[in-house]
Amino acid sequence: MNEKVNIVFAIDNNYVQHLSVALVSLLDNNKDVSFRIYIISSGLSDKNIKNIHKISDRYDCEVKNITVSDDLFVTLATAHPFYPKGTYYRLLIPELINEQKVLYLDSDIVVNGSIKALYNQDIGEDYVCAIEDPGFDRHVQLKMDPRAVYFNSGMMLINLAKWKRDGIQKKVIDFIENNQEAIWFPDQCGLNAVINGRWKKVPLKYNQQSSIFSKDFEKKFNCFSSEELSQAKERPVIIHYTSGSKPWHYKNKHPYKRKYWDYLKMTPYRHAIYSDLMPLYLLKSMIPADLRKTIKGALKKS
């Protein structure tokens, strides 16, 4: 693989520690690959940019920081206040990046092996290569074909040339704006509604989701074979911490939690502690919810 492999992350300053883990795990497990890393954000601090380069400079890796305005997604973010504006940044990929294809990765991941076979997938005329998100049954609400399969957007090998040619970006943003009551996971629901099943499945090991470790998963869902599940559990290539509980939370029980902390030691954030044990977090947790709401309201008026 002589050409650059194009990877895209979309984050804000609060997620740089986790991006650093994703980045160093990707680079360290793919030392024979030349990377071009695009990082889309609303503007990273000089310190965070410097820390990212401390990692990338150790490998065959070019980093391109792309700054966008949060104002672009004020309307969407207001409709879904539980999701940060950064959730929508990946929708700007066709406008910001001029490549034939890119591998988009969420930042709450650890890369545990080679991504060459994934990146070299023949996308053909499909929009993305991805993994099914099990348990979806909201085809009617999202105006999808009842036979269409819903994918997880945390790992997407994107046919960027086709996205641009077919105007996917505008169609997805328009769908989210015009169907806000149907949207549960903003960009993911919008992408699935527009792509509507026109995507290619790749093995689960390329986006190991936390839900596969839940009790009776195989009894509840039949979207993955026993062999595919076993491979994803035992030899995952990309570990995606998809639940609300993350490995940087003290009580997290993910079987691959240790991987996150092992790679964190290879970053400038090696001295970080569990986020929910930090003094400010503990102080906030001691303030009643009603009082926190009152304080926030007062601060906004001041």
The yes-or-no verdict on residue 294 having pLDDT over 60 is no
In this structure, are residues 243 and 152 in contact, taking their beta carbons and an 8 Å threshold?
no
φ and ψ of 217, to 5 deg = -55, -45
Q: Report the pLDDT averaged over residues 29-33.
A: 97
The amino acid at residue 160 is L
Beta-carbon contacts of residue 245 (< 8 Å; ≥ 6 apart): 251, 252, 253, 254
Binned at pLDDT 50, 70 and 90, residue 180 comes out as confident
Q: How many whole angstroms from its chain centre is CA 57?
A: 23
Name which residue leads in pLDDT, 87 or 183: 183
Domains of the chain: 5-271 (3.90.550.10)
Give the DSSP letter of residue 258: H
Q: What is the dihedral of CA 98, 99, 105, 107, to 10 degrees?
A: -40
SS (H, E, C) 181-242: HHCCCHHHHHHHHHHCCCCEECCHHHCEEHHHHCCCHHHHCCCCCHHHHHHHHHCCCEEECC
The angle subtended at Cα 229 by Cα 152 and Cα 139, nearest 5°, is 35
Interval 71-95: pLDDT, tens? 666 555 555 555 556 667 888 899 9
- Backbone torsion region of residue 216, taken as left when φ is above 0, otherwise alpha when ψ lies between -120 and 50, otherwise beta: left
Beta-carbon contacts of residue 4 (< 8 Å; ≥ 6 apart): 34, 35, 36, 62
The yes-or-no verdict on residue 48 having pLDDT over 90 is yes
Q: How far apart are CA 150 and CA 234, in angstroms?
A: 24
Predicted confidence at residue 1, as pLDDT, reads 46
- Chain mean pLDDT for the chain: 88
The amino acid at residue 275 is S
Q: Report the pLDDT averaged over residues 283-298.
A: 52
Predicted confidence at residue 12, as pLDDT, reads 82
Token duo for residue 104: 């988009």
